[in-house]
A = this chain, B = another copy of it.
Amino acid sequence: MATAQRMVVIGGNAAGMSAASQARRLKGPGELEIIALERGGYTSYSACGIPYWAGGDVAAADDLIARTPEEHRERGIDLRLHTEVTELDPDGCRVRVRGGGDGDGGGGDDSGPGKWLGYDHLVIATGARPLRPGLPGIDAPGVHGVQTMDDGRSLLEALEETESARTGRRAVVVGAGYIGVEMAEALVRRGYRVTVLDRAEEPMTTLDPDMGRLVREAMVGMGIETVTEAAVTAVRTGEGGRVRAVATEDAEYEADLVVLGLGVRPETGLAREAGLPLGESGGLLTDLAMRVRGRENLWAGGDCVEVLDLVSGRDRHIALGTHANKHGQVIGTNIGGGYATFPGVVGTAVSKVCDLEIARTGLLESQARSAGLRFVTVTIESTSRAGYYPGAAPMHVKMLAEHRTGRLLGVQIVGREGAGKRVDVAAVALSASMTVEQMTSLDLGYAPPFSPLWDPVLVAARKATAAVRRAGAH
């Protein structure tokens, strides 16, 4: 152990444990000691799976756990649960650790500031924390977050308690973003009468409002009350201090259960205190190898960092497990003596509410505008399959292209089966800086059960090409 380097990982989920596992694949314990510190009791779980667990699609909590603490330990990772880092000392190459472990040179006690743990490489993978507005009643029993496994467990218990209770149970979901609409679906499946409240003009602000409107109309069609431009002012409690209703400026919505789906912020308090470079969102800034900018042996990845948006050229905070895993892979490869980079993202996201699929990649109109771009937009309606083939369902595709150059800037899709993953075509085209005109001749898979003769993405590209040409004439 004397000559081995030490890698310390803060955070036992996607980015952290991917980094640890990948480094371990490349370097044995004789070369590299790996200590992973996790504040909670779980590792490598799918937070994005929690709404499906809540909805009953996923039977057991264990299904969401990709790798247990025992499995990590078997692979030669010194994993310490219930262990919190209370301070970073990048110049001293050490972190202060409290609770949990009592391993050599490592763990601290459960109170006080904790003990110092030295490192050769530090990986910051502290994730994100859910937004929780400081409203009256927000901590009342019956108000649930959906970020951690503990959140999930507590929500499941609440759902199962009320399962046998009276019918006509009501749930209010605060926030109509990805988590909000996924939770609306879950609660509908559990038999709740669901109201979703959002302060924005339309649900899904990851879409432009005209596409968000399609989502709202579909949600209403599913029997989900969808109230927009509604600012929540308080959670009202009743008997035993339990939640009873959610109040907005204009109204009150009865609720036996409240779910908060208000998005997340990077968990970077320690990094901030240590003077590490943070972006506008509060996420850590890294280089392409996922090193914290300007730091040789300090790495960061997952929901606590900002990523380069390749379309706008700006750093953005996008909390998504798939990025976190890629970050971990890159960090682990680099610490393990290999070479890898994370070039950035194009902003792809896909979700669904019941049978409505919602996807986007690239920039929204507002994002393109604030990046200083001039652009044209087109929207088309097509179908998922040949029009004559059973199950062909309508699909709306919106496309943004840069003025003059015709470069693709973004795509949004709302439709039924087969709509969501179609956005991947645009995601690859964005990575390749294709123009919408180049896209019109893409050789996409065609057969009647899979696509109309012109895939909806190509129909949009054709229309966008014409729009670019018209605009270019002026």
Q: Which residues of A contact B (CB under 8 A)?
A: 14, 46, 48-49, 52, 57-58, 63-64, 66, 178, 320-323, 325-326, 341-343, 345-352, 357, 359, 361, 386-390, 418, 420-425, 427-432, 434, 438, 440-451, 453-455
Contacts and interface: CB of A to CB of B under 8 A. Distances in A.
Contacts of A64: 388
A307 to B, nearest CB: 9
A322 to B, nearest CB: 4
A75 B438 CA distance: 29
B57 A390 contact: yes
A442 B428 contact: yes
A328 B64 CA distance: 50
Contact of A322 (B387, B430, B454): B454
9 contacts: A48-B447, A66-B453, A325-B454, A351-B447, A352-B450, A424-B425, A427-B442, A428-B429, A431-B442
B443 A348 contact: yes
B432 A445 contact: no
B347 A443 contact: yes
Q: Among the interface residues A48, A351, A352, A388, which one has the most CB atoms of the partner chain B within 10 A?
A: A388
Q: Among the interface residues A48, A178, A359, A422, which one has the most CB atoms of the partner chain B within 10 A?
A: A48
A356 to B, nearest CB: 12
B46 A443 contact: no
A57 B445 contact: no
Contacts of A428: 425, 428-429, 432, 434, 442, 444
Given A322-B444, A418-B421, 9 more contacts: A48-B448, A321-B453, A326-B440, A342-B441, A347-B443, A349-B446, A431-B438, A431-B442, A431-B443
Nearest to A346: B443
A466 to B, nearest CB: 10
Contacts of A52: 388-389, 448-449
A352 B447 contact: yes
Nearest to A62: B388
Given A326-B441, A443-B361, A450-B350, A388 B46 contact: yes
